[in-house]
A and B are shown apart, each in its own frame.
Chain A
Amino acid sequence: MAGVAVSTTINGDTIEYLCQPDETLLDVLRDRLGLTGAKEGCGTGDCGACSVILDDRLVCSCLVLGAEAEGRRIETVEGMAQGDKLHPLQQKFLEHAALQCGICTPGFLIAAKDLLAKNPDPTEEEIRFGLAGNLCRCTGYDKIVRAVQDAAIVMKGA
C-alpha cells in the first residue's frame, strides 16, 4: 500500500506524516507521532478513551482515518496544559481524585473541555449526558462530575 502524505495541525503545531489509507487517526497519533495520551480502549467508538477535538468537534480518534486529518486542527490531551501550568480541568481532576487508574482520564479531559467550551455553565445532568460517551470503570463518575463542576466555576471566573 502506498502511504498518504498528510499535513495537519496538532495542538497548534504543523505536523506532517505519511500514513496508510486504512490507518486510524488514533494509530497515527500513538504509533507514528508518539502522542500516546489518547488511549485505545475498544477501537469501536464505544469507550471514548481516544477522544480528541477535530476542528472544534469531539470525536473518537479510533473512528477517524489518519488521512482525514489533512488540513484540519486536532487537539489532544498533550496540548491542554500551557507549559507547566495545568488546565483548570486537569487541576480539578487531581484535586478531586477524579481518576483512579487514569486510563480514561485523557478522554474525559478532552470531552469535558469540549463540553465546557460549548456550555460553560452546565447542570449536573448536562455534564452527565455530555460525558456519557466516555467510559470509566473505577470511579463511578461521582468525582469526575464534581471536578468538572468545580472547573467550570474556575473557568467562568477566569
Chain B
Amino acid sequence: MNFDPRFSGRKFASVGTRPIRPDGVDKVTGRARYGADFNMAGQLVGRVLRSPHAHAKIRKIDTSKAEALAGVKAVITAKDLPDLTDGDAAMYDILDNCMARTKALYDGHAVAAVAAIDAHTARQALKLIVVDYEVLPHVTDVDEAMQHHAPLINDTVFTEGLEEKPVKPSNVTKRSQFGHGDVHQGFGHADFIVERSFKTEQTHQGYIEPHACVANVSSDGTADLWVCTQGHFVYRQHCAQLLGMEASKLRVTSSEIGGGFGGKTHVWAEPVALALSRKAGRPVKLVMTRDEVFRASGPTSATSIDVKIGARKDGTITAAEATLRYSAGPYAGSWAEIGAMTAFACYRLDNVKTVGFEVLVNRPKTAAYRAPSAPMAAFAVESAVDELAKELGMDPVEFRIRNAAQEGTRSSYGPVYGPIGIGPTLEAVKAHAHMKAPLKVNQGRGMACGFWFNFGGQTCVDLNIGMDGSVSLAVGTVDVGGSRASLSLVAAEELGIDYAQLKAVVADTSSLGYNDMTDGSRGTFSSSMATISAARNAIKILRERAAQMWDIAVDDVVWEQGHAVAKGEKHGNLGKLSLKEIAAKSGTTGGPIAGHSELVADGAGVSFATHICDVEVDPETGATRVIRYTVVQDAGKAVHPTYVEGQYQGGAAQGIGWALNEEYIYGKDGRLQNAGFLDYRIPVCSDLPMIDTQILEIPNPNHPYGVRGVGETSIVPPLAAIANAVSNAAGVRMTHIPMSPPRILAAIEAEREG
C-alpha cells in the first residue's frame, strides 16, 4: 500500500500525553541489561594494550611471553585482523583505528589485545607484550597541525577541494565551501563590521556507560555480538566486513544503552572482541575502562574559527563570512564541512561564504557528538552577532529577529527552507519573562540561536497483533532516551487502542530488516513514520478480516477508534468489532495479523532553538555559575512532551559543561592528562539550576503528525548563550571555550590593563 507521509492536521488521543515508559520498571529496579550486564558460559575477559605515545612507528610486537602465561587463551595484533577492506578508505581507517597497523597515531591507540580466563590474568598478559616503538614527532593542536612545518600524520593525504591539486601531502584532508552571493560586495555595503577569532577545546560525549560487548564466534562461521550501540545494524555491517563474514551470519543484539550522544555510532573494540573470540574459540567480554573511553573512543573536534559579519545601520546583515578549522583526530571525517554548513543557517543572508578545513592531529578519532560540529560554529557566529548588535546599538533579540531565516529563505548551505521555527523561537524568547527578570551585580544575561539539520534514513518496523489483541511493536532504532514510549504512543494513536495494550521492543539484526543508526535526531522521527505506515498496513488487514467476519465488502468497513465499523445503511445493525474481537478470530480468518513497514524516512524537518542564560561571574576567582536557563525549541509535534523536555534539558546541560569546564588537556608529550571524571569534570547536580523549557510546535510538512527530530539542537546554542552572558557579566568578550576560571580571570585582567 502506498504510504503518504504528508502532514495532516488531526486531533490526537495518545500523542502528546505523558505515560510511563515501557522500559521504565526494569531501569529503576536494576533489572535492565546494559552492555556490561550480559554474560555467557565459558566467557573470557578481553583487554586491550594501548600506545603510550602520541605518534610512533610500530617496529615489532613480541607477544610470546603473554601467550605463554597460564590462563591466556588468545593474543591478537593487527595481523589477526587482516585488511579485507578492498580499497574502501573509510573502512580501512576504521580497521586501523580498532588496531594500529604500522603506526600508533594517538595516545591510547590499540596495538594488541588479549583474552584470558579472568581480568587479573588479562592485565598480567598485557604487561608481558613487548612493543618496539620508534617515537615520531607529534602535533595535537588544530592550528599548529595546519602549519607547513607540522609533523605529517599521514603522508598519503593530499588536501581535497583545492583548485589546484596539491603536490605535497598535508594534515589538511579537505577544504569545503558553502554560500551564495558576493561577500566582498556585501561588506562594502556594511556600516558596521565585526571580525573575531574563536577557539573551542575538544570535549567528550561523556556517556556514563563505557563501551561494552560480548562476542561469540562459532567455528561454523556464525557469530553473536551483544553490544551497547546506537546502531546495531551498522555495527553488524562494519564488523562483518572487517572480519570477513557475511552480514547475515552475524547477529547483533543492542543492549540497553547507557548514553551515546553520537559516541556509540562507531565501532571501537567490537571487531577486536570478535577477533579474540574467533582465535580463542570462546565467548569474549570486552569492557572499556573510563580511561580508555577518554583516550580511545571518539571525542568531538577542537576548533579554531574566524568570523566576519557586516550590517547596515538599520540592522540588516549585508554579508557574513567564516573560516572554520576542525580537528578530526588521525582520520578524515566531514566535521569541518558540517560546521561550515551550519554556521549561518539561522539567518537570511544575501551574501554568505563559509570555508571549512578538516585537520588531522594526533588525538583520538573524532566522533559525532550531538549535532556534531554545530555548537562550535554557533559559538563563533552567535558571539559575533551579539557584538555586532552592540555596535549597532540594537537589542540582540531584535537584531536576530530582523535577520532570521524564514520559509522560502535560501539557507547558507544551499536548500530553501520550508516552514521553520527560528522566527517563532525568537519571538517566544522576546516575550519570555526570563528576558525581563532583574539581574544583580556581576550577573549577565546572554541568548543565542542554534540550528540542526535532522536526519531520516532507512527504517523498518514490524507490528504484530496477538490473538489476545495485544500488540507488539518491533523497531530497529536503538532507544537512547524514551523512544519506545513515543513509538508506542504513535502506534496506539494510529490503531485507536490504549497505550497499555502495546509493548515496544528493539529487535536484533536477525529479526528485522536493516535500520540506520539512532543518529541525526532520527529515532522518533523515522521510526514513528514507519510505525504509522505499519499500523496502517495492519488496519487494512483488520478491515479485511472484519469484512470477512461480517461477510460484507471490505470497502464498506472503516477503522474508527480501535474498531472496525460497517458503513452504509444496509449494514445498520452490524455494530462494531474491536481489534481484540478481530484478533481472537484471526486463526480462522486467514492467520496472524501484522503490519510491516520498510521505508526511507525522507523530509526530516530542520530544527531551530533559542536559549536564554543568566550567569554570575566572580571577578576575584573567575568562577561562573549558571543561575537561570531557558530553552525554547521547535519540536514539530512533541509525541511524549516529558521526554522532549528531557532532550532540551540534557542538551543544555552538556552545553553548559562544554562552555565552562570540559576540555581535553594534552601535555607536551602528546599524552592526555585528564582521562577521568575527576579531572574531566562534567556538570554535577549542584552546578546547575532547573532548566526551563518551552516547546513550540511548527509542524513538519513531511511527517503525518508533523514530528521533527528533537534530540540534538539543544546543544547548539548553549556555548554561545553562555559566552554572551559571561561576556556581559564580566565586561569582556570571551573568545575561548571552555571559559574556565583561569581564562576568565586572564580576560578580565587583560581588559583592565587595556
Name A residues whose Cβ lies closer than 8 Å to a Cβ of B.
Answer: 1, 20, 22, 27, 30, 35-44, 46-47, 49, 76-78, 80-81, 86, 90, 93-97, 99-106, 109, 124-125, 127-129, 131-145
Contact = CB atoms under 8 A, between A and B. Distances in A.
Given A140-B653, A141-B653, A145-B690, A103 B685 contact: no
B690 A142 contact: yes
Interface in B682-705: 682-688, 690-691
A20 B650 contact: no
B259 A137 contact: yes
B200 interface: no
A96 to B, nearest CB: 8
A132 B685 contact: yes
Contact of B30 (A37, A97, A133): A37
A39 B649 contact: no
Nearest to A79: B30
B30 A36 contact: yes
Contacts of B256: 101-103
Given A49-B208, A141-B683, 17 more contacts: A1-B120, A27-B119, A30-B37, A36-B30, A39-B258, A42-B290, A44-B290, A77-B28, A77-B29, A80-B29, A103-B208, A128-B688, A134-B685, A137-B206, A137-B650, A140-B652, A143-B645
A103 B258 contact: yes
Given A49-B208, A138-B646, A102 B688 contact: no
Most A C-beta atoms less than 10 A away, residue of B208, B209, B649: B208
A47 B684 CA distance: 9
Interface of B: 18, 20-21, 23-25, 27-34, 36-37, 119-120, 205-210, 256-261, 287, 289-290, 480-482, 642-643, 645-647, 649-650, 652-654, 676-678, 682-688, 690-691
| Secondary structure class of chain A's binding surface, majority of residues | loop
Given A39-B258, A97-B642, A140 B28 contact: no
A97 B21 contact: yes
A37 to B, nearest CB: 2
A44 B680 CA distance: 13
Given A77-B29, A86-B25, A137 B652 contact: no
Nearest to B714: A140
B30 A77 contact: yes
21 contacts: A30-B37, A36-B36, A38-B30, A41-B290, A44-B678, A77-B28, A77-B29, A90-B25, A94-B20, A99-B27, A102-B28, A103-B34, A103-B256, A106-B30, A137-B654, A139-B646, A140-B650, A140-B652, A141-B653, A143-B642, A145-B685
B18 to A, nearest CB: 8
Contacts of A100: 259, 480-482, 643, 646-647, 650
Nearest to A125: B686
Contacts, number: 180
Contacts of B32: 102
Contacts of A131: 684-686
B42 to A, nearest CB: 15
A110 B28 CA distance: 10
Nearest to A89: B28
B302 to A, nearest CB: 20
B6 to A, nearest CB: 30
Contacts of B27: 99, 102, 105
Contacts of A38: 30
Most B C-beta atoms less than 10 A away, residue of A22, A42, A139, A141: A141
B593 to A, nearest CB: 31
Contacts of A145: 685, 690
A115 B688 CA distance: 19
Contacts of B647: 100
Contacts of A103: 34, 207-209, 256, 258-259
A94 B21 contact: yes
A35 B643 CA distance: 29
Given A86-B25, A95-B20, A139-B646, A102 B258 contact: yes
Contact of B480 (A36, A96, A101): A101
B747 to A, nearest CB: 27
Contacts of B643: 97, 100
B360 to A, nearest CB: 28
Contact of A138 (B287, B650, B678, B686): B650
